Amino acid sequence: MITPNRHYAELKDSYLFTHIAQRVEAYQAGHPKERLLRMGIGDVTLPLCDAVIDALHRAVDDQASRERFQGYLPECGAPFLRSAIAEHYRSRGVSLADDEVFVSSGASDELGDILDLFDACSSALVIEPAYPAYVDANVIAGRRIVHLPASREDGFLPEPCNEAQADLIYLCSPNNPTGAAFDRWQLQRWVDFANEHGSLILFDAAYEAFIEDPTLPHSIMELPGSNTCAIEICSLSKTAGFTGTRLGYTIVPHELIRAGMSLHDMWVRNRTTKTNGVSYVIQRGAEAVFTLEGQRQVRENLAYYKENARILMKALDQTGTWYCGGRNAPYLWVQCPDGMGSWEFFDLLLHEAQIVGTPGAGFGACGEGYLRFSTFGSRKDTEEAARQLRMLLG
Ligand code: PLP
C-alpha cells in the first residue's frame, strides 16, 4: 500500500482567511446595509496595462496562424523573455546571463518547487511575521524550521545572529506582511553571513517594483557575493497585475555550487523533467512589461496603489498610530492601539469603521498585536477608510 507523506498531518490549518470571512459574513448578516471597506485584500484590482493586452492579442493571433504558430517552447522559458528579463537586470547594473533567468508560472509555484534542490535534512530559517507558504512548504518536505522573530525594535528587519543559522534562509524584501525593506548594508550582512556559513538565501522579490527609495536594492543580485549564495524568486503578479494571468521568474546564478553540484544545472534538469514551461501567449504578454512603454504603463498602475498608501499613511500619522511599510511596499503594518490583540483590533475596525484588515497573528506568533492594511483597494474605499480611521483612532 502506498504511504502518504505523513508531514501533511503536521501542517497547521490555515484558519486566517476562513476566520476573516466568517466574522465579516456574521457582521454583514446583522448590518446588511453597511458597505465594507476591504483593506485586507492582497490581490491587485486594476486591469492589465494596454501594452500587455496588445501583446497578448498579437500572441493569440500568432497561434491562429500556420506560419507563426508556436508549439512547445523551451522548458526554462522562451529565449525572447529570458533575454528581456536579463536585459532589465543589466539596465540596473546587474550582469546576468540569459540562461540564469528561469521563467515560471509565478512565485508561489517556484517557492514550493525550488525546494526539490535540497534534501529533507536541511534546515530552513523563516523570519516572522512571514508569508505563510515559506513555513508550509518546508513542513510538507519534513524540514526543520528555525523561526526568527522580528519586532518593532529591529524595524521588522532582523540582522543575522547565531540563532539564525540554517541551510536555507528566506528573505522577503519589501516584506509581506510588514512592508519593511532591507537597505543595502542590512542585506549585505545576510549575504556575507550566508557565504560564511555555506547557507543558501531564497530571496523573495515579489514586491520590488514598489520600492521608491532610490538607495534600496531591488534585487539581492545587486550585492557583491550574492551569486555564490542566493536564488531570487520574483513575479509579475503585483508588479504588473499578473495575479490571474500568472508569470514569474527565478534567477539561479551559475556560480551557485554546493557539495560540488551546480544548483543552476540541477534546476535546468528539474525544469526539463517537471514542466513543459509557461504558455507562449502569456510569455509574450510578459515580454511587453519589459519594454519602455510597458514599464511606463506598469508604473502608472503602481502609482495608483502608492497614492492609496499615502492616503492611509497620512491618516495614521495624524492619529499618532505606529506603523511601518507603505512607502516601499503595498502593505502597512499597523500596531494595534492600547495593547489590543490583532483580532480584537480587527473586530473594532469591522464594527466601528466597517474596515476589514488582516490580523497580524495570522503571519506567525510575533505578528500578534499588529494588523496589515493592503493598498490594493479602490481609491474611494481607501479615502473612506482613512476618514474612518481618523475618527476612530484620532
Ligand atoms: N511571495 C510573496 C511575499 C507574496 O506576497 C506572494 C503573493 O501574495 C507571492 C510570493 C506569490 O506570488 P505569485 O502570484 O507570483 O504566485
Give the residue numbers spanning the domain of 70.
50-291
Ligand 1 neighbourhood includes 78 CB (under 6 angstroms): no
CA of 274 to the centre of ligand 1 (A): 21
Q: Is residue 4 included in any domain, yes or no?
A: no
Cα 275 to its chain centre, rounded Å, is 22
Domain-embedded: residue 349: yes
Decide if 324 is inside a domain.
yes
Shortest CA distance to 330 belongs to which of 127, 42, 16? 42
Domain-embedded: residue 7: no
> What local confidence, expressed as pLDDT, does residue 42 receive?
84
Ligand 1 atom showing the smallest separation from residue 236 Cα: 15
3-state secondary structure of 86: helix
Question: Are 250 and 220 in contact, with CB atoms under 8 Å apart?
Answer: no
Residue 36 has pLDDT above 80, yes or no: yes
Pocket test for ligand 1, best of 176, 208, 210 (most atoms within 8 A of CB): 176
- Grid cell listed for 225: 557575493
Q: How far is the CA of 66 from the centre of ligand 1 (A)?
A: 37
Average pLDDT, the chain: 96
- Whether residues 287 and 366 share a domain: the answer is no
Residue type, 194: A
* Res. 41: pLDDT tops 90: no
Ligand 1 centroid from CA 69, angstroms: 31
pLDDT tens digits along 362-389: 999 999 999 999 999 999 999 999 999 9
pLDDT of the residue at 156: 97
Q: Which three cell numbers stand for residue 236?
A: 509579475
Check pLDDT > 80 for residue 15: no
Q: Ligand 1, residue 247: give the atom nearest the CA.
A: 15
CA of 42 to the centre of ligand 1 (A): 9
Q: Residue 97: pLDDT band by 50, 70, 90 thresholds?
A: very high
Cα 296 to middle of ligand 1, angstroms: 23
Same domain, 160 and 90: yes
| Region of residue 258 (phi > 0: left; psi between -120 and 50: alpha; otherwise: beta) | beta
Q: Is the CB of 126 under 6 A from ligand 1?
A: no
Residues whose CB is less than 8 angstroms from the CB of residue 284 and which lie 6 or more positions away in sequence, other chains included:
55, 56, 58, 59, 62, 80
| CB 173 near ligand 1, within 6 Å | no
* Ligand 1 near 245 CB (within 6 A): no
Residues 106 and 147 in one domain: yes
So what's the pLDDT on residue 16? 81
Same domain for 230 and 82: yes
User: Nearest residue CA, atom 5 of ligand 1?
Assistant: 176
Place 275 in a pLDDT band, splitting at 50, 70 and 90.
Answer: very high
Give the helix ranges, DSSP H, for the chain. 16-30, 50-63, 79-91, 107-113, 133-140, 184-197, 263-274, 280-289, 292-318, 342-353, 379-393
**Any idea which residue has 523533467 for its cell?**
273
Of the residues 232, 260, 291, which one is the last residue of a structural domain? 291
The pLDDT of residue 274: 96
Rounded to the nearest angstrom, the distance between the alpha carbon of 242 and the centre of ligand 1 is 11
Using the structure block, give the residue that is written with the C-alpha cell 519589459. 290
Please indicate, yes or no, if residue 5 is contained in any of the structural domains.
Answer: no
Q: How far is the CA of 133 from the centre of ligand 1 (A)?
A: 9
Assess whether 387 and 306 both reside in one domain. Answer: yes
Beta bridge partners of 159: none
Where is the domain boundary, 275, 291, 307?
A: 291
Compute and round to an integer the Cα radius of gyration of the chain: 21
Say if residue 161 is in the same domain as residue 224: yes
Distance from residue 374's CA to the centre of ligand 1 (Å): 14
- Burial code (b: 16+ CB inside 10 Å, e: under 16) for 238-254 equals bbbbbbebbbbbbbbbe
- Whether 136 is in the pocket of ligand 1, judged by its Cβ within 6 Å, is no
Task: Say what the pLDDT of residue 13 is.
Answer: 76
Are residues 37 and 77 located together in one domain of the fold? no
CA 38/CA 51 separation, integer angstroms: 29
Ligand 1: residue whose CA is nearest its atom 8: 42
Task: Say yes or no: 65 and 210 in one domain.
Answer: yes
Which of the four pLDDT bands, split at 50, 70 and 90, describes residue 305?
A: very high
Same domain, yes or no: 238 and 368: no
Domain CATH code at residue 31: 3.90.1150.10
| Residue 193: band (very low, low, confident or very high) from pLDDT cuts 50, 70, 90 | very high
Same domain? 157 vs 129 = yes
* Residue 234 neighbours by CB distance under 10 Å: 25
State which ligand 1 atom lies nearest to the alpha carbon of 242. 14
Last-in-domain residue among 238, 272, 291 = 291
Question: Domain of 152: which CATH number?
Answer: 3.40.640.10
Neighbours of 195 (CB within 10 A): 16
Structural domain contains residue 369: yes
Mean pLDDT of 170-194: 98
User: Are 170 and 92 in a shared domain?
Assistant: yes
Q: What is the total count of domains within the chain?
A: 2
**Residue 189 belongs to a domain:** yes
For residue range 198-245, list pLDDT tens digits in order. Answer: 999 999 999 999 999 999 999 999 999 999 999 999 999 999 999 999
**328 & 241 share domain:** no
User: Looking at the predicted structure, is the pLDDT value of residue 141 above 90?
Assistant: yes
Cell of residue 224, nine digits: 557583491
Classify residue 274: in a domain, yes or no: yes
To test the pocket of ligand 1, the residue of 45, 105, 131 to mutate (highest count of ligand atoms within 8 Å of its CB) is 131
Find out whether the beta carbon of 381 lies less than 6 Å from any atom of ligand 1. Answer: no
**112 C-beta closer than 6 A to ligand 1:** no
Residue 312 DSSP SS3: helix
Position 4 scores a pLDDT of: 93
